[in-house]
Amino acid sequence: MMIQTSTKLNSKFSFNVSLARRNLLEDIPRFLVAQAGIMFAVSLVTIQTGLQKGFTLSASKLIDQSRADIWVTAKNQVHLGLTTPLNLQQKKDAESVSGVRRAEGLIIQGAIWRTRGNSLSSVTLVGFDPNGTLFIPGTLQQGQLDTLTIPYTVFADLGSLPTLSLRKLGDGGLVGSLPAKLVGVTEGSQSLVLGNLLFTSLETATAYSQSPVTTKLPCEYAVEGLDCQAESGDYPLKPQPLTNENNINFILIESQPNQDLSDLRRRLESVLPNTRAYTREEMSQLTQSYWEKRSGIGYILGLGAVVGVVVGVVIVGQILYSSVSDHLKEFGTLKAMGASDWVLYRVILEQALWMGGLGYIPGMVLCAITASWTTATQGILILITPASAVTVLGITLLMCFTSAVFAIQKVTRVDPAIVFKE
């Protein structure tokens, strides 16, 4: 009989009794409201910081994936899309600097894209040397790099195809008044900052940038009500060959092996007046910190994350406080029984910890789904790394502990003498 009862007790009772967990689960609707609140707070923080990270990372993507050791820019360069031009003569000068193995020009410039239906969108032209080695236009999905040597051909990023009304290779549009034909699709080079990227050769990019948008269209593009030039060959069959006077925006440098890069940078800057030479890492850092700090976008996204934390603290705080208010007599009883303040605090902190932990998991799942959906459909990168997931967990727990402070205040004030009052 004794043994029977004993085994029965062992299986049925947990002897490490957690009042916190039991009180939490005693009121399931309130528990779910708390979980939903934490879930959304977690999501808000994760998505905002993920957006910020993804945004700054994608802003420097073209730099990071380049194989250049050094990027030469105009002295007053602000970021990739805002700089005054250099010219090809300077690229040639750079080639002759000792320690330079290879120099390539790069054009990054805004332009207007016109679809066959005559609708407009803004694009960023990225002109580079398709036979070069230093610039990489993302991961190639379709097409061959060297087809870009054909005049008026472009690559576009997978994410911007719908915006540009492009469905397959061979589709086209107009840049200025010149035609553009899609011959390749890249992936993973899109950034919020530069918008829709059109990769092309330096020659074609130069021709595009000098071609004005006109009211006249080649007849194959014409829609009702617009003038049309009967001959679609009203533009030069080939872009003009480039001369030393032609503009580029950046010079990418590959150094000789075992070069001291800071010496090389000094030499480049002295040979090329009014320029700056940055290592790839510096250039990337510069771009990221511009978009993070000077643009205000980093601030806005950071503010969103802070609001998420505040909302979380308020929700968890409110739930904990009302839970404590509902269980005042129990806390009074514990106090009367001689439990130390720490026992009471532990109940509340444990409750906060459970809420935080159990809200974090669905929150992260929600974020993962949202992030992959956003990247797939919007081409916007929301970066959630293991490190950022751990950071958000830390923030969540901190958030819950902060909200526990209000509830602890309330418990501290409970007079155990209430246990004898009706």
Partner 1 sequence: MTTCKALESNTSSMIHRDHSHINLDHQPGLQLSQPAVKVENVHLDVQSGQQYLSILRGINWIIQPGNIQLLMGPSGSGKTCLLTILAGLLSPTRGKVYLLGQDITLMNRTQLAQFRLHHIGFIFQDFNLFPALTAAENIAIALQNKGVRGQLAQCEIQSLLERVGLEQQGHLKPRHLSGGQKQRVAIARALAGSPQLIMADEPTAALDSRSGHLVMELLRKLAKENGATVLMVTHDPRILDLADEVAHLEDGLLKAG
Q: Is 80 helix (H, G, I), strand (E, B) or coil?
A: coil
DSSP string, 303-353: HHHHHHHHHHHHHHHHHHHHHHHHTHHHHHHHHHTT--HHHHHHHHHHHHH
As measured in angstroms, the least distance from the Cβ of 19 to partner 1 is 6
In this structure, the number of other CB atoms found within 10 A of the CB of residue 320 comes to 25
Q: Which is nearer to partner 1, 6 or 210 (CB)?
A: 6
CA distances from 248 to 35, 85, 132, 372 (A): 55, 6, 15, 36
What's the residue count for the chain? 422
Q: Which is nearer to partner 1, 11 or 243 (CB)?
A: 11
Q: Which is nearer to partner 1, 114 or 335 (CB)?
A: 335
Burial (CB count within 10 angstroms: exposed 0-12, middle 13-18, buried 19+), residue 376: exposed
As measured in angstroms, the least distance from the Cβ of 416 to partner 1 is 5
As measured in angstroms, the least distance from the Cβ of 405 to partner 1 is 21
As measured in angstroms, the least distance from the Cβ of 28 to partner 1 is 12
Cβ-contact 107, 125 below 8 angstroms: yes
Q: Which is nearer to partner 1, 84 or 340 (CB)?
A: 340
Cβ-contact 55, 296 below 8 angstroms: no
Sole residue written with tokens 């890249």? 186
Structure tokens at 105: 């020009």
Q: Which is nearer to partner 1, 28 or 237 (CB)?
A: 28
Closest CA to 260 of 70, 64, 132, 74: 70
Alpha-carbon span 363 to 395, nearest angstrom: 13
As measured in angstroms, the least distance from the Cβ of 12 to partner 1 is 4
Sole residue written with tokens 């236009």? 137
Q: Which is nearer to partner 1, 95 or 350 (CB)?
A: 350
Q: Which is nearer to partner 1, 140 or 418 (CB)?
A: 418
As measured in angstroms, the least distance from the Cβ of 359 to partner 1 is 20
As measured in angstroms, the least distance from the Cβ of 358 to partner 1 is 17
**DSSP secondary-structure letter at 367?**
H
Helices (H) and strands (E) in the chain, counts: 12, 14
As measured in angstroms, the least distance from the Cβ of 39 to partner 1 is 24
As measured in angstroms, the least distance from the Cβ of 420 to partner 1 is 5
User: For the chain, how big is the Rg over CA atoms in Å?
Assistant: 31
Alpha-carbon span 323 to 406, nearest angstrom: 12
Alpha-carbon span 227 to 346, nearest angstrom: 79
Q: Where on the chain is the footprint of partner 1 (CB under 8 A)?
A: 2-3, 5-6, 9-10, 12-17, 19, 22-23, 25-26, 329-330, 333-340, 343, 415-417, 419-422
